């Protein structure tokens, strides 16, 4: 048994006993990950790390602080009664303490919980970002994934539309940083206050608001008659439904102003956002679209979603203002807005555009003892290099040189360092620069220099 560091010395706990032995044969376990989930072997992990590095770099550029929360939350955090898909697919269960818990389907409720928990000790505005794995339990009939990683950026404590404008700017910055331009993607921008003003004009109660938004978010996914039926079923009169559907087809702010009048908050917010977009320099990336409401019940104002202009993919990202979320958890409301950016559609987009990055393993040195009794010497050389910040792949057992060269090529090592008797007794090792084939003997305590440079000086 291998030492596993968890008291896994001589004794083997049941978990280490492996699968049950049946009639002298071991029943092979399914070595695939659970349905709808992914492994990240090195090649996939390099792409994920590259994506997350870009998320983090943009978050740093915008002065956001990283936060995180448990992947497991109280189920109550996600129980909303607006008929959201995210609720129907909640990955929830009862734990051994008989508590109703859930694997988080999104990060925003956790953020709200932490903000309430921290309360007055927080100095506003908060600019927090997180990259977290989110879950849903979807019947595998559609074969879709049950987990994905989401980058979230949130601004808490800013009532002005400058916050939404800043968030969209951060996503534009991200797209540009990975080689995506305004000709590849855009943002559809709207405000839920448009819907609010329509409901008010028909003196329809505000608690219809969230349910109506969730229904409208399905407008491109189910037949329009189904939409009308669902709107009627939540209590919207036919006249209101017709008016609402008419407004949803509006594609310009001036048209919207004609319908709603110029006095409402919806128009003011949208005009301010488009004006700020000009100043941020991303006007070509955004367009008004009254049909965009997003599918989360808690949005209350500006909403936006990133889409691919070729129209082949699902929404790339989405977000908006959610000024009333904290009070749904019993906290004092604070103005809030944020977005979620998943790790799947963006990769599909980069593949479509043929601009996936080429990521290869990198190591500076591969160190190998030329015979078995120099294994200790090789370890000493490796340690010295590592203490100087050099990465080393140390060959851990006696291997033929052919094997060593093959491994050096596979791991893309820059230098091969051979520890041989003749050189070692002189305090030297043999170094081969694998790109040029250039070979030389170097003093061990001079190894960390980039000796190509050293020889020139
Ligand atoms: O975008 C909704 C969602 C939530 C959790 C997991 C996955 Br995959 N997708």
Three-state SS annotation for 15-49: HHHCCCEECCEECCCCCCCCCCCCCCCHHHHHHHH
Which residue owns the Cα nearest ligand 1 atom 1?
342
Whether the per-residue pLDDT at 388 is higher than 60: the answer is yes
Q: Indicate the pTM of the whole model.
A: 0.91
Ligand 1: distance of its center to the CA of 133 in Å? 9
Which residue owns the Cα nearest ligand 1 atom 4?
105
Which residue owns the Cα nearest ligand 1 atom 5?
135
* SS percent in the chain: helix, strand, coil, step 5: 40, 20, 40
Ligand 1 atom closest to Cα of 148?
A: 8
Determine the Cα–Cα distance for residues 100 and 73; give it in Å rounded to an integer: 9
Q: How confident is the model at residue 253 (pLDDT cuts 50, 70, 90)?
A: very high
| Residues 1-51: tens digit of each pLDDT | 343 444 444 444 444 556 665 567 788 999 999 999 999 999 999 999 999
In this structure, are strands 185-191 and 286-288 parallel, antiparallel, or unpaired? parallel
Pocket test for ligand 1, best of 84, 110, 148, 294 (most atoms within 8 A of CB): 148
Determine the Cα–Cα distance for residues 378 and 148; give it in Å rounded to an integer: 42
> Rounded to 5 degrees, what are φ and ψ at 143?
60, 15
Strand partners for 365: 392, 415
Ligand 1: distance of its center to the CA of 90 in Å? 10
Determine the Cα–Cα distance for residues 220 and 289; give it in Å rounded to an integer: 13
Ligand 1 atom closest to Cα of 340?
A: 1
Ligand 1: distance of its center to the CA of 135 in Å? 6
* Lowest pLDDT segment from 103-117, 195-209, 259-273: 195-209
Contacts of 370 (CB under 8 A, 6+ apart): 418, 419, 420, 421
Ligand 1: distance of its center to the CA of 87 in Å? 11
103 contacts 37 by C-beta, under 8 angstroms: no
Residue written as tokens 């229904």?
Answer: 215
Ligand 1: distance of its center to the CA of 314 in Å? 12
Contacts of 430 (CB under 8 A, 6+ apart): 417, 418, 420, 423, 439, 440, 441, 442
Tokens of 69: 């929360």
DSSP 323: T
| Residues 126-143: tens digit of each pLDDT | 999 999 999 999 886 777
Ligand 1: distance of its center to the CA of 315 in Å? 12
| Residues 71-92: tens digit of each pLDDT | 999 999 999 988 898 899 999 9
Pocket test for ligand 1, best of 342, 345, 347 (most atoms within 8 A of CB): 342
Comparison of pLDDT for 56 and 205, the residue scoring more: 56
Pocket test for ligand 1, best of 136, 138, 150, 340 (most atoms within 8 A of CB): 136
Reported ipTM exceeds the 0.95 cut:
yes
As a whole number, mean pLDDT of residues 56-75 equals 98
Q: Which residues have C-beta atoms less than 6 Å from ligand 1? A: 105, 134-136, 145-148, 342
288 contacts 274 by C-beta, under 8 angstroms: yes
Ligand 1 atom closest to Cα of 146?
A: 8
Ligand 1: distance of its center to the CA of 303 in Å? 19
Ligand 1: distance of its center to the CA of 91 in Å? 11
Ligand 1 atom closest to Cα of 85?
A: 2
Please report the sign of the dihedral spanned by the C-alpha atoms of residue 346, residue 189, residue 90, residue 326: positive
Radius of gyration (Cα) for the chain, nearest Å?
29
Q: Specify the pLDDT at position 235.
A: 87
Ligand 1 atom closest to Cα of 145?
A: 8
* Lowest pLDDT segment from 118-122, 204-208, 387-391: 204-208
Ligand 1: distance of its center to the CA of 273 in Å? 28
168 contacts 270 by C-beta, under 8 angstroms: no
Ligand 1: distance of its center to the CA of 317 in Å? 12
Pocket test for ligand 1, best of 147, 306, 348 (most atoms within 8 A of CB): 147
Ligand 1: distance of its center to the CA of 287 in Å? 26
Q: How confident is the model at residue 453 (pLDDT cuts 50, 70, 90)?
A: very low
* Lowest pLDDT segment from 32-36, 261-265, 349-353: 261-265
DSSP 3: -
In this structure, are strands 100-103 and 428-433 parallel, antiparallel, or unpaired? unpaired
| DSSP codes, 324-357 | THHHHTTS----EEEEEEESSHHHHHHHHHT---
Comparison of pLDDT for 197 and 366, the residue scoring more: 366
As a whole number, mean pLDDT of residues 338-351 equals 98
């Amino acid at each position: 048994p291998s030492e596993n560091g968890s008291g896994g010395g001589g004794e083997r706990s049941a978990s280490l006993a492996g699968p049950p032995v049946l009639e002298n044969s071991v029943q092979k376990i399914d070595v695939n990950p659970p349905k709808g989930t992914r492994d990240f072997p090195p090649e996939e992990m390099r792409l994920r790390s590259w994506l997350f590095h870009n998320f983090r770099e943009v978050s740093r550029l915008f002065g956001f602080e990283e936060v995180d929360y448990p992947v497991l939350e109280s189920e109550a955090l996600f129980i909303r009664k607006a008929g959201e898909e995210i609720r129907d697919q909640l990955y929830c269960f009862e734990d051994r303490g008989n508590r109703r818990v859930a694997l988080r389907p999104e990060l925003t409720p956790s953020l709200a919980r932490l903000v309430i928990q921290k309360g007055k000790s927080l100095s506003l505005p908060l600019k927090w970002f997180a990259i977290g794995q989110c879950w849903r339990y979807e019947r595998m009939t559609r074969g879709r994934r049950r987990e994905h990683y989401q980058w979230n950026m949130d601004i808490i404590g800013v009532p002005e539309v400058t916050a939404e404008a800043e968030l969209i700017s951060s996503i534009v910055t991200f797209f540009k940083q990975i080689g995506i331009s305004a000709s590849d993607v855009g943002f559809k921008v709207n405000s839920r206050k448009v819907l609010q003003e329509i409901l008010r004009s028909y003196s329809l109660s505000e608690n219809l608001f969230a349910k109506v938004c969730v229904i409208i978010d399905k407008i491109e996914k189910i037949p329009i008659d189904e939409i009308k039926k669902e709107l009627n079923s939540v209590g919207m009169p036919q006249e209101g439904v017709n008016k609402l559907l008419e407004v949803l087809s509006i594609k310009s702010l001036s048209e919207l102003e004609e319908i709603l009048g110029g006095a409402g908050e919806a128009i003011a917010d949208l005009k301010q956002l488009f004006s700020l977009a000009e100043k941020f320099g991303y006007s070509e990336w955004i367009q008004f679209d009254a049909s965009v409401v997003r599918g989360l019940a808690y949005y209350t104002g500006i909403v936006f979603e990133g889409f691919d202009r070729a129209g082949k993919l699902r929404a790339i990202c989405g977000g908006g203002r959610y000024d009333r979320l904290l009070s749904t958890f019993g906290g004092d409301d604070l103005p809030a807005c944020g977005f979620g950016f998943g790790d799947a559609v963006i990769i599909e987009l980069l593949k479509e555009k043929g601009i996936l990055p080429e990521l290869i393993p990198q190591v500076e040195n591969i160190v190998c003892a030329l015979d078995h009794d120099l294994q200790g010497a090789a370890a000493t050389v490796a340690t010295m290099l590592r203490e100087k910040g050099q990465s080393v792949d140390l060959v851990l057992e006696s291997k033929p040189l052919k094997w060593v060269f093959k491994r050096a090529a596979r791991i893309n090592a820059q230098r091969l360092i051979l520890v041989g008797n003749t050189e070692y007794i002189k305090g030297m090792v043999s170094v081969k620069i694998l790109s040029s084939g250039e070979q030389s003997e170097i003093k061990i305590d001079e190894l960390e220099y980039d000796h190509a440079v050293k020889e020139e000086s």
